[in-house]
Structure 1
Amino acid sequence: MKKVYGSAKEALDGLLFDGMFIAAGGFGLCGIPELLIDALVENGVKDLTIASNNCGVDGFGLGKLLDTRQIKKMISSYVGENAEFMRQYLSGELELEFNPQGTLAERMRAGGAGIPGFYTKTGVGTVVAEGKELKEFDGETYVLERGIVADVSIVKAWKADESGNAIFRKTARNFNPPAAMCGKVCVMEVEEIVPTGSLDPDLIHLPGIYVHRLIQGTHEKRIEQRTVRKREAV
């Protein structure tokens, strides 16, 4: 099966339709699928539901899709540094389903593992649990959360072989693997594609069986919050 494509546009060809559900990897601006997001903007597909830890920042990452009004609903755990995200939500232009961070990651992982739902204590007694099934285990109350299965996953890895076996770096590993798992089709962008068999199997974070299409590209890697300290006098 051919997995390596020449561009983000080619890799998404035939997969996009209005009203679709997309799972997007990344944590803040770390490890986000920049090239695939740009291809979504260029395509113009609209009324999207996107599950992602956050929605980028103003004018970058998934924030670009907010600027073009292509997102109908976000399933996220953090609004954060995106003023346009907040504005659209408060004005009623954007639907928002808040999920605790760990719950969102597990919903993605569960969907990818074929698990339709699971119980967790997180959110019990809050608006997160409203309208959901509650059940008691060993004297403690738990809320039922549904696994996420997306039409398409868009994710970014550091390195992958031609079969899609992937390695992530640092914080980029937080949401990219579960996001990749839960898509019916997973499209991954990487900084480097190497020959199949050249990666140590013990270092693989995501098996290639989850990855259907793969591209290599150059990334801006913008820093969300730059924190520095003054140079100490010698």
Structure 2
Amino acid sequence: ASLAVGGFGLCGIPTALIGALYEQGAGSLRVVSNNCGTDDHGLGTLLAARRVARVTGSYVGENKEFARQYLAGELEVELVPQGTLAERLRAGGCGIPAFYTPAGVGTQVADGGIPWRYAADGSVAVASPPRQTGLFGDRVCVLEHAITCDFALVRAARGDRHGNLVFDKSARNFNPLAAMAGRVTVAEVEELVEPGDLAPDDIHLPGVFVQRVVALTPRQAADKQIEKRTVRV
């Protein structure tokens, strides 16, 4: 199955849903997410258990096992410019099959050749193909295809039983986009409210994109890890 997973680093990640997926035992997963958590948290737990076959993302981050599996040829990785990844997810949710963007023109993103999978001897087993380009005025742009997934897992600060969601600050980055790209979207919410309790202008993602809502316990809602702790002296 393919999964679009919200969050950035460890901010706004659907911790409880990832944990439930780990317990469920699914494997050979194709994951679309900005990054893959850390070695001990988030999607990193699925990665360490060898449940992930392919990752489409833009950032390796603090996950050493992610880097090790990729370089050892155990994991296929499609690296995508961050803004392009966000737009590919949004386009998938809006029914737009593809779009042109100047991001990546003149690089291997457009020309092809980015290693997607390494062989055991360190050679490139699978490389990205060249992309179609087009000229718009005097600007060359590369064609990017939309992303849709079988499922999407997201986390929201508040939500109602119809699936209308509100995200907290920077947790709003990839969560709404991932939710839009899933054919079946499951949202874990820190606070579940009744329909009508959310003001229409406060809703970040309408319930039309959400098929399942899971109310977190207070303990689950408080489980928020920090990727890299810094202290001001």
Within 5 Å, give how 1:17-166 maps onto structure 2.
20-129=1-110, 130=112, 131-166=130-165
In the alignment, structure 1 residue 229 sits paired with structure 2 residue 227: no
Task: Give the Å deviation of 1:229.
Answer: 1.3
Partner of 1:174: 173
Partner of 1:9: none
Which structure 1 residue ranges, 5 or more long, are not aligned? 1-19
Query: Equivalents in 2 of 1:229, 1:144: separation in Å?
Result: 44
Task: Give the Å deviation of 1:225.
Answer: 1.4
Query: Equivalents in 2 of 1:153, 1:159: separation in Å?
Result: 17
Query: Number of matched residues?
Result: 211
Query: Equivalents in 2 of 1:126, 1:48: separation in Å?
Result: 29
Query: Equivalents in 2 of 1:111, 1:66: separation in Å?
Result: 25
Query: Equivalents in 2 of 1:127, 1:79: separation in Å?
Result: 18
**Secondary structure in 2 aligned to 1:60?**
coil
**CA offset digits 1:96-152 (Å, max 9, x no partner):** 000011100000000000000000000111111121111110011100000001000
**Secondary structure in 1 aligned to 2:196?**
coil
Task: Give the Å deviation of 1:228.
Answer: 1.3
Q: Under a length normalisation based on structure 2, what TM-score does the superposition of the two structures give?
A: 0.89
**Secondary structure in 1 aligned to 2:230?**
coil
What amino acid maps onto 1:136 in structure 2?
L
Query: Equivalents in 2 of 1:44, 1:59: separation in Å?
Result: 17
Task: Give the Å deviation of 1:190.
Answer: 0.7
Task: Give the Å deviation of 1:227.
Answer: 1.4
Q: Under a length normalisation based on structure 1, what TM-score does the superposition of the two structures give?
A: 0.89
Task: Give the Å deviation of 1:167.
Answer: 0.3
Query: Equivalents in 1 of 2:189, 2:107: separation in Å?
Result: 39
Task: Give the Å deviation of 1:90.
Answer: 0.3
Task: Give the Å deviation of 1:61.
Answer: 0.2
In the alignment, structure 1 residue 189 sits paired with structure 2 residue 185: no
Task: Give the Å deviation of 1:44.
Answer: 1.2
Query: Equivalents in 2 of 1:44, 1:125: separation in Å?
Result: 42
**CA offset digits 1:8-43 (Å, max 9, x no partner):** xxxxxxxxxxxx110000011000000110111111
Which stretch shifts more, 219-228 or 90-99? 219-228
What is the aligned-residue RMSD (CA, Å)?
A: 0.7
What amino acid maps onto 1:207 in structure 2?
P
Sequence identity of aligned pairs in percent?
A: 56
Query: Equivalents in 2 of 1:151, 1:54: separation in Å?
Result: 19
Query: Equivalents in 1 of 2:215, 2:106: separation in Å?
Result: 45
**CA offset digits 1:47-99 (Å, max 9, x no partner):** 11100000000011000001110000000000010000000000000000000
